[in-house]
Amino acid sequence: MADKVIYRNHKFSVERIEVPIGRKIMSFERVKAPDAVTVLAMPDNVSLLIERGYRPALKRMTVELPFGLLQNGEKPVDAAKRVIKEQTGYVFGNYTLMLKTFMNPYITTQKDYFYIAKNKKTMKNVSRDGMSSFTAVKFDALRDMVERNYIKDNKTIAGILYYINTLMKK
């Protein structure tokens, strides 16, 4: 049996798939969503841009790294540049792929590309929707925010800890 679309909207679709496992055919649902980028934007050598924004799904404010979905046919690095410019107003001269992950491989096909943005060039004022704001936060403070469970977003925790524990030590 072919994959069957159960639901579709402008952001994602839900499919029922059948997969042979051993001698059985197992049925699962999966969410097909566009891939995403998470950006560790470094306005200087000691901090990252962090967003405090309202998330309707949770009905609360969260603390996160800049994040966005790839648009149709867009390359991940181009999405990272677009997301940073649109959300923060910053333009950076250098984007380096740091990490590629699956958001939740049990339920979704979505991949997340983590980029490091360095060499800040310019900044323009961005018209904010009032639902979020960005600020530069030093690495020591970010580590403390993760350890105290103030930051609860998994992609933000993964990006910060991977950078601090792997790349900063080199």
Residue 16 CA to residue 90 CA, distance in Å, equals 41
pLDDT for residue 5 is more than 90: yes
Look at residue 168 in the predicted model and tell me its pLDDT: 84
Q: How far apart are the C-alpha atoms of 43 and 23, rounded to whole Å?
A: 55
Mean pLDDT of 68-96: 95
Q: What angle do CA 91, 118, 111 make, to 5 degrees?
A: 90
For the chain, domains (ranges, CATH) are: 1-32 (no CATH), 34-167 (3.90.79.10)
Compute the distance between CA of residue 152 and CA of residue 150 in angstroms, rounded to an integer.
6
Report the C-alpha gap between 94 and 15 in whole angstroms.
38
Q: For position 128, what pLDDT does the model report?
A: 64
pLDDT for the residue 133: 87
- Percent of the chain residues past pLDDT 90, beyond the cut: 82
Phi and psi torsions of 130, nearest 5°: 85, -5
Residue range 124-166, pLDDT digits in tens? 766 666 678 899 999 999 999 999 999 999 999 999 999 999 9
Q: Mind listing the pLDDT tens digit for each residue in 14-48? A: 999 999 999 999 999 999 999 999 999 999 999 99
Please tell me the pTM assigned to this model: 0.90
